[in-house]
Each structure stands twice: as C-alpha cells, then as structure tokens.
Amino acid sequence: MDGAVTQERVRAYWDRQPCDSELSARERLSREFFLDVERQRYALQPHILECLSWIDWPGKRVLEVGAGVGTDARRIVGAGAIYTGINVDRGSAEATERALRVFSMPGVSLQRDARSLDFPDGS
C-alpha cells in the first residue's frame, strides 16, 4: 500500500470517529459530550495533566498536531497560550473548533497535514 492510500485511510478513519469521541455517549459535540470526554480521558491518562502542568503556558504560541476533539486544547488555552490545533481530518478539526466555541475560548483549529504545513517561517 502506498503512502497516499495509507494517508487517506488514516484521514477517513479519524474523520468518522475523532480521537477520544468514543469515550462519551452524550450528544456529540455538546458541552456535556466534551466534559464527559475530558473526565474519561484524564481518568484513563492522568499523566497528561501532570505533563501539561510542567509548562509555563501564558503567552506561548502553541501548535498542537493531532488535537482530536480539543480536550487538551481547552487546557492549553485555559492556561493562557495562543493556540492553533491541526488535525489531518475534517471531523476532528471541526470537533476541536466546536469545543473551543462551546467553552467561549479563543484559538484556531484547522484541517492540515503535518507533513506539509503552510504557515509562514518564524510563525
């Protein structure tokens, strides 16, 4: 299987079921859904919260590759970072964008391929 086919299969997989979306049976992309995913994610992977606490976030410009449904994005933005998240698929990018809006948080979520980003140098 060539790289283009593999990448398309990865994109299609995550588009159908963004990372961690299976952790909640609540109405998809609702406030309750995002809170439920957050509870479940950090219960299963408490080390993530510890790692996030090591960073002095205020004012830092952050690019998160593979933002899933925006769970860590909300923590990062809530800690004062200037946030951009990318996902290879549309479904995850939209979920992260929705999470930020539902919680009235700034930030940008884009569908992009991390192997070829179109951001200006030094940004």
- Structural domain boundaries enclosing 93: 3-111
Write b or e for each residue in 33-68: b if 16 or more Cβ atoms lie within 10 A of its Cβ, otherwise e: bbbebbeebbeeeeeeeeeeeeeebeeeebbbeebb
Q: Is the pLDDT of residue 3 over 80?
A: no
pLDDT in tens, 112-122: 999 888 888 87
Asked if residue 120 is part of any domain, the answer here is no
pLDDT in tens, 60-72: 999 999 999 999 9
CATH code at position 105: 3.40.50.150
From the list 71, 64, 75, the residue with the least C-alpha distance to 108 is 64
How many domains does the chain fold into?
Answer: 1
DSSP element (H, E) containing 63: strand 61-65
pTM of the model: 0.91
CB 41 within 8 A of CB 20: yes
What pLDDT is stored for residue 72 in this prediction?
98
> What tokens appear for 90 in the block?
């549309």
Asked if residue 116 is part of any domain, the answer here is no
